[in-house]
Amino acid sequence: MKASAIICELNPLHNGHKYIMDKAREDSNPLVMVMSGNFVQRGCPACVDKWTRAKAALSEGADLVIELPDIYSCSSAEYFAKGAISILKATKLEYNLLFGIEGDNRGALSKAVMQRLGKSYLDDAKERMSLGDSYASSSLDEVLKSNNILALEYTVAVNELGAENVTPVPVERTGKKSHIETASEIRNKLSNTNELSCFLPKASFKILSESFESGLGPINPAPIENYIIAMLRKISAENLSKQAFVSEGLEHKLINEAYRCTTFADLVSACTSKRYTSSRIRRALYSLVTGTTSDLLNEFKYKAPYIRILGFSKIGAEAVSEICKKTDIPVLINASDREKLTGNARKVFENQVSATALYEMCLPKQGTRNADTELTHPPVKV
């Protein structure tokens, strides 16, 4: 089966996403979305849960939504991309992978990919980091604008993982606003849904509004952020050093500042430096929520632990059937399918159960804060 694919967060699904989705549907192939779970790449909870966002995707033209597990979704661009590409590779369907780029930067993208795949790349980055630069500014990713970093990582991941079934297809973004700026502006308006109608396509707006009316959003991250500070005041430096993105003594800084700071924003600010960006700090802190350790992240860097189905259309159901016949990793359609998991793949799923239970504590209405949603919510069908 041939399909189109998009890797996304949909936090929330806005007109920029819809533009690329419509482009993907031009070839009449099924549209598969690999979408972040309840925690997103910049190190925070998604504005609404993954099933609500999956419903929006399916209502706006997607056929199949596959979850990008927390271990990847709340991670750096490299792991985010490798996790998504490893899932697409594992399905063994043939994909055109569409992703946005700022302007006509295809030439710059190709150049940056060649540099990233070159032998000297890591040595160059390490040398500049030794001088105090952050990883982001030390890497050759700066050949591209920051909003093109994921485009670079997707293309590099296809090459490094040998995902021959995935063909990268850059799509130039339209309009004056970038995808990231637009998404940030939309999230800043979540308290007044009336202001969102011009930013979101019709079905997405309706689903988001209904979600808010039902008390399923918008998410207030304060309970989780307080939990993180409490954890830092309890955990040992030795154990904290095992968490993803915590290295080179950062564990001591995080713990010391947790005793001094009373808000999460102050904690992130106090730990941010030229070497460690605020995004890196946030992801390191949220690893305490998602259970992501350096060992787990590295174990599944090149091969996904499983394929989790969040939702599908009638056409998507046919794709799921074909994936189940072809793949060599477990496919989870219902929560009971977790029995297929063993070893650390089971650990990744169990971590998500715990993380989702914490995510539920951030819902605005107390009556909606269930602890077992991860184990009881069925896949969305449209």
Domains for the chain: give ranges and CATH numbers.
Answer: 2-217+300-381 (3.40.50.620), 222-296 (no CATH)
pLDDT for 178 equals 44
Give the long-range contacts of residues 316-324, CB within 8 A, separation 24 or more: 316/30, 316/32, 316/58, 316/62, 316/63, 316/64, 316/65, 318/1, 318/30, 319/1, 319/3, 319/30, 319/32, 319/63, 319/64, 319/93, 320/64, 322/1, 322/93, 323/91, 323/92, 323/93
Q: Is the pLDDT of residue 292 over 90?
A: yes
Give how far Cα 75 sits from Cα of 6, 40, 186, 371, Å.
Answer: 18, 8, 22, 24
The residue among 268 and 140 whose pLDDT is bigger is 268
CA atoms of 124 and 142, how far apart (whole Å)? 13
CA nearest neighbour of 40 among 9, 13, 12: 9
Residue 84 has which token pair?
A: 């998504």
For the segment 235-283, what is each residue's pLDDT rounded down to a tens digit? 999 999 999 999 999 999 999 999 999 999 999 999 999 889 999 999 9
What is the rounded distance in angstroms from the CA atom of residue 290 to the CA atom of residue 127?
31
Q: Given this model, what pLDDT does residue 351 score?
A: 98
DSSP-assigned beta bridge partners for residue 293? 243
**What's the DSSP call for residue 36?**
E
β-bridge pairing 31-36 and 2-8: parallel
Q: Residue 83 above 70 pLDDT?
A: yes
Instruction: Give the three-class secondary structure for 97.
Output: strand
pTM: 0.93
Question: Rounded to the nearest 10 degrees, what angle do helices 343-360 and 222-232 cross at?
Answer: 120
Give the pLDDT confidence score for residue 127 in this predicted structure: 58
Q: What percent of the chain has pLDDT over 90?
A: 78
Cα(157)–Cα(309) distance, integer angstroms: 22
* 3-class DSSP assignment, residue 330: coil
Least confident of 160-164, 190-194, 217-221, 252-256: 190-194
Tens digit of pLDDT for each residue in 167-185? 999 998 775 544 445 788 8
**Averaged over 182-192, what is the pLDDT?**
85
Q: For 170, phi and psi rounded to 5 degrees?
A: -65, 140
